[in-house]
């Protein structure tokens, strides 16, 4: 009888410990859920702010240009904190839809990419955008991409995200380090970065431009990229992306 009572007591203790552990686990999950919801809410607010802040930065840049001040790189104080604003001309970047293999290799090498990979990237990108099925020496055509679940476009690149699908490229190399996106475009640029002198940079009608906007919101840093074309005095957004900070 005493032994049976002891078993019952042990069972009760184990049950209490199990319930306590479960309550603690659920409490942790609750805290995590609240934190996740709060983070999502803050990110949503920040993303909504970014487009408005981009337009605000553009208007300030035009004012600075008219006053003869530096408008390509400046900071702004706002209710959301300090904005770090940088404008550049999309026309001064290497156009991946027009550049030949040599121009692309030269750029990749200048950014610290090893020669073998630079050759693969350049040849594969040409194969991606040309209409035939013959791959270059270091390139890739349909057969290479089949196991990856997609096929080459056989036409001009449509988005910057598409670049990372090409053999030799990846998201880290393109968006983070060395950050190729900073030197290339698909919205009309140079065929060769090293032989065309840069013109004086101004925001003018008919031009295509790039805005890099950095700011902090509720303790988190955000980096926003926007590419736009000027039609009259109004920007028409061609591309926008929140980048890793």
Question: Which is more confidently placed, 30 or 216?
Answer: 216
Same domain, 210 and 149: no
Q: How many residues does the chain have?
A: 245
Same domain, 122 and 175: yes
Same domain, 118 and 72: no
Give 10-50 pLDDT, tens digit per residue. Answer: 565 666 666 666 565 545 444 443 333 333 344 445 566 78
Please answer whether residues 210 and 87 qualify as being in contact, where contact means their C-beta atoms are separated by less than 8 angstroms: yes
How many whole angstroms separate alpha carbon 154 and alpha carbon 86? 34
In a domain, 157, yes or no: yes
pLDDT at site 205: 85
pLDDT at 190 over 80: yes
What 68-77 contacts at long range (C-beta under 8 Å, 24+ apart), as own/partner pairs, is 71/203, 72/201
In a domain, 66, yes or no: yes
In a domain, 163, yes or no: yes
Please answer whether residues 29 and 37 qualify as being in contact, where contact means their C-beta atoms are separated by less than 8 angstroms: no
pLDDT at site 203: 92
Give 58-67 pLDDT, tens digit per residue. Answer: 999 999 999 9
pLDDT at 197 over 80: no
In a domain, 225, yes or no: yes
- Average per-residue pLDDT for the chain: 84
Q: How confident is the model at residue 68 (pLDDT cuts 50, 70, 90)?
A: very high
pLDDT at site 24: 55
pLDDT at site 35: 35
Same domain, 171 and 217: no
pLDDT at 4 over 90: no
Domain count, the chain: 2
What is the domain-level CATH number for residue 113?
Answer: 1.10.40.60
In a domain, 71, yes or no: yes
pLDDT at 208 over 90: yes
In a domain, 206, yes or no: yes
Give 166-185 pLDDT, tens digit per residue. Answer: 999 999 999 999 999 999 99
Please answer whether residues 57 and 76 qualify as being in contact, where contact means their C-beta atoms are separated by less than 8 angstroms: yes
Q: What is the pTM of this model?
A: 0.78
The CA-CA-CA angle for residues 153, 91, 109, to 5°, reads: 70
Same domain, 71 and 101: no
Q: What is the span of the domain harbouring residue 78?
A: 49-91+199-243
Please answer whether residues 226 and 205 qualify as being in contact, where contact means their C-beta atoms are separated by less than 8 angstroms: no
Q: Of 66-75, 102-111, 227-236, give the lowest mean pLDDT range.
A: 227-236
Same domain, 100 and 177: yes
């Amino acid at each position: 009888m005493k032994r049976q009572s002891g078993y019952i007591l042990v069972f009760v203790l184990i049950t209490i410990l199990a319930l306590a552990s479960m309550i603690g686990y659920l409490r942790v999950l609750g805290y995590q859920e609240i934190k996740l919801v709060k983070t999502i809410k803050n990110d949503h607010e920040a993303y909504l702010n970014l487009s408005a802040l981009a337009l605000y930065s553009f208007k300030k840049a035009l004012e600075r240009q008219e006053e003869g001040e530096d408008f390509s790189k400046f900071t702004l104080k706002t209710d959301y904190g300090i904005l770090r604003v940088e404008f550049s001309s999309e026309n001064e970047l290497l156009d991946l839809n027009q550049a030949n293999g040599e121009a692309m290799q030269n750029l990749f090498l200048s950014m610290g990419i090893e020669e073998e990979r630079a050759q693969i990237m350049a040849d594969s990108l040409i194969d991606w955008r040309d209409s035939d099925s013959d791959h270059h020496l270091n390139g890739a055509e349909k057969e290479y991409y089949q196991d990856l679940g997609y096929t080459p476009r056989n036409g001009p690149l449509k988005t910057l995200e598409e670049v990372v699908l090409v053999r030799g490229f990846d998201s880290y190399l393109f968006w983070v380090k060395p950050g190729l996106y900073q030197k290339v475009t698909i919205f009309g640029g140079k065929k060769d970065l090293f032989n065309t002198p840069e013109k004086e940079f101004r925001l003018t009608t008919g031009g295509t431009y790039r805005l890099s906007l950095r700011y902090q919101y509720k303790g988190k840093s955000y980096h926003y990229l926007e590419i736009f074309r000027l039609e009259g005095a109004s920007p028409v957004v061609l591309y926008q992306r929140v980048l890793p900070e």
